[in-house]
Amino acid sequence: MDKKWQYPHRRWNPLRRTWVLVSPHRTQRPWQGEVGQKAMPSGVSYDPECYLCPGNKRAGGHANPAYESIFTFVNDYAALLPETSSVKDAPASALLQAEPARGLCKVLCFHPDHSLTLARMTQPEIRRVVDAWAREYEELAALEWIEYVQIFENRGAMMGASNPHPHGQIWSTGFVPDEPAAETAAQREHLTRSGRCLLCDYVAAEREASERVIFENEHFAAIVPWWAVWPFEALLVSKRHLGAMLELSGSERDALADALRRLTTRFDNLFETSFPYTMGFHQTPTDGKEHAEWHFHAHFYPPLLRSATVRKFMVGFEMLGMPQRDITAEHAAERLRACSEEHFWPRG
């Protein structure tokens, strides 16, 4: 790796049009802060106390069916509701604005086996999850008032997951949230200025440089992005220009399932732990407008920094100034490339 990156520098994030501070020399600092517990895969295929296992009663009182593959339901404790009352009182100041927020929040169980994660599921099992995500996107996008469909997974207690059962969430909103709105603006500006897709150009540049590419398959590239903030952050990008999961061909859906399995397995093998992360897909808004600028991709934000028990905290300068990281994206990619794609904890 080029020694010039071993000194403090800033890197530009073209998707957010923001900077990140990189401070590689800080990796040598001693650590006397919080040390968490190592998370290992569960050995329990069915937990009678789990709200998401087949046949069990959820916290809201509803009973799950005895599902054998995918199970989707409306979140019993949704952050958004399809119907909402209007904001009646006018604000005392133009600086104190509010407006109604509508949405529909769903939970998607990936598998009936309580012990599994994406990393320990087979490619065909993950392909069924991909198909379910695409169906949900299509059905929710068909609702006239839905402007964005956010598919995501919080994996592990360290990332706030309230239940270890393999599952993710789908929040569809009557507005475009801030992160995809910022990416919309950045991608549109690049297309207007250059006549080309921002992420098509970016993937081409990363494949040529190669040092931040973790792996590729026929249709997807897994990259530690140039602008990564989290220590082992990853970007999963389609090689073909398309806007949403619904546009993926059969072979591309297979490739996405393959990439998800390989990337999450490498994460787990890095520190031999059930690796925590927040993962989500960014895709075309469903606001009825033309979005030629949009390119389908997924972000992985894992918090672990030095080991299975030491995590990166976004505090101090990160909260008050700008994002900052200690290890370079190149070093993170090198370590992930070195990880096996055979899971350290064999299934069964």
**pLDDT of res. 28:** 58
| The pairing of beta strand 324-325 with beta strand 18-22 | parallel
Show the domains of the chain with their CATH numbers. 38-80+100-337 (3.30.428.10)
**pLDDT of res. 39:** 75
Cα separations (Å) of 43 from 62, 72, 132, 190, 205?
26, 24, 26, 48, 43
Cα separations (Å) of 12 from 101, 225, 227?
32, 11, 6
CA distance 226 to 310: 23
Q: Which two tokens stand for residue 258?
A: 């393959």
Q: What are phi and psi of 118, to 5 degrees?
A: -55, -35
Number of neighbours of residue 153 by Cβ within 10 angstroms? 25
**pLDDT of res. 95:** 92
**pLDDT of res. 175:** 97
**pLDDT of res. 29:** 57
Per-residue pLDDT for the chain (348 aa), expressed as one digit of tens each? 456 778 899 999 999 999 999 998 765 555 445 556 677 777 899 999 999 999 999 988 899 999 999 999 999 999 999 998 777 677 889 899 888 999 999 999 999 999 999 999 999 999 999 999 999 999 999 999 999 999 999 999 888 888 999 999 999 999 999 999 999 999 999 999 999 999 999 999 999 999 999 999 999 999 999 999 999 999 999 999 999 999 999 999 999 999 999 999 999 999 999 999 999 999 999 999 999 999 999 999 999 988 888 888 899 999 999 999 999 999 999 999 999 999 999 887
Cα separations (Å) of 342 from 177, 222, 269, 275, 339?
37, 17, 8, 15, 9
Give the active site residue among 111, 114, 165, 167.
Answer: 167
Whole-prediction pTM: 0.95
**pLDDT of res. 226:** 98
**pLDDT of res. 72:** 98
- Give the start-end residues of each E strand in the chain: 9-13, 18-22, 71-74, 103-109, 148-155, 167-173, 213-216, 220-223, 234-238, 277-282, 297-301, 324-325
In one-letter notation, the amino acid at residue 39 is A
Whether 167 is a known active-site residue: answer yes
**pLDDT of res. 30:** 52
Q: Which two tokens stand for residue 348?
A: 């069964």
Question: Could you tell me the sign of the dihedral formed by the alpha carbons of 21, 22, 26, 32, in that order?
Answer: positive
CA distance 58 to 231: 35
Are 136 and 108 contacting, i.e. CB atoms less than 8 angstroms apart? yes
Where does residue 17 fall: left (phi above 0), alpha (psi -120 to 50 degrees), or beta otherwise? left
